[in-house]
Amino acid sequence: MATIKVGDKIPSGTFKYVPYTPELDDALACGVPTTLSTDEWKGKKVVLFSVPGAFTPTCHANHLPPYIKKYDEFKAKGVDVIAVVAANDPFVMSGWARVSGLKDKASLPDFILALSDTNAEWSGSMGLSADMSARGFGIRTARYALVIDDLVVKYIGVENAPGVTVSGADAVLANL
């Protein structure tokens, strides 16, 4: 159950990710993980959505693609950063980003970041982790979306059932 709510400041946190470089077009390249702090979002409008796992059916086919397709609509509404987060490691998130076509949007200023929330720690600090041990996945990030403006939550959509509704691109766009 989410403990964060609209009007709350997001907790400070760090994520690992692999910035896209042309060398990553080689499927054998792995890149070098770097760290991003939520402090870097001060003064920015951020859309962050979370998936339980990269390459999993709903996440891969139904959650990420609409954000990619509607990228320009988000930018037109003043969004500075779009980020997808999961508990997967940064190399898996980088591979998923590349397979999903994020490479052209993975560098500043036009980007969708694929961030690793290691052990779902940041998400868990807001009550947004999910124990999927029964399915063999362990602790994961829940399926949710946040609109963050200058580090303050303006919208939160947490999925309470399988599928993508309140955390999907259309729901978030409607709440910008």
Cβ within 8 Å of residue 169, ≥6 positions away = 66, 67, 69, 70, 74
User: Alpha helix (H) ranges present in 46-146?
Assistant: 57-58, 64-69, 71-76, 90-99, 121-124
Distance in angstroms (rounded) separating the CA atoms of residues 52 and 85: 9
**Band of the pLDDT at 108, cuts 50, 70, 90?**
very low
- 10-39 pLDDT tens trace: 999 999 999 888 888 888 999 999 999 999
Percent of the chain with pLDDT over 70: 93
Output the average pLDDT for the chain: 89
| Arithmetic mean of pLDDT, 137-164 | 93
pLDDT of residue 102: 73
- 81-92 pLDDT tens trace: 999 999 999 999
pLDDT of residue 139: 84
Residue 30: active-site member: no
| Arithmetic mean of pLDDT, 111-121 | 90
Q: Is the pLDDT of residue 123 over 70?
A: yes
Distance in angstroms (rounded) separating the CA atoms of residues 30 and 26: 9
Of residues 107 and 29, the one with the higher pLDDT is: 29
pLDDT of residue 3: 92
**Band of the pLDDT at 96, cuts 50, 70, 90?**
confident
Are 164 and 143 spatial neighbours (Cβ–Cβ below 8 Å)? Answer: yes
Q: Which residues is 114 bridged to in the sheet?
A: 84
Q: Is the pLDDT of residue 94 over 80?
A: yes
Q: Which domains does the chain have, with CATH numbers?
A: 14-174 (3.40.30.10)
pLDDT of residue 25: 85
- CA distances for 166 relative to 6, 72, 116, 143, angstroms: 14, 20, 22, 9
Indicate which residue of 24, 47, 59, 146 is catalytic: 59
Q: Is the pLDDT of residue 105 over 50?
A: yes
Q: Which two tokens stand for residue 107?
A: 């560098």
| Arithmetic mean of pLDDT, 123-133 | 89
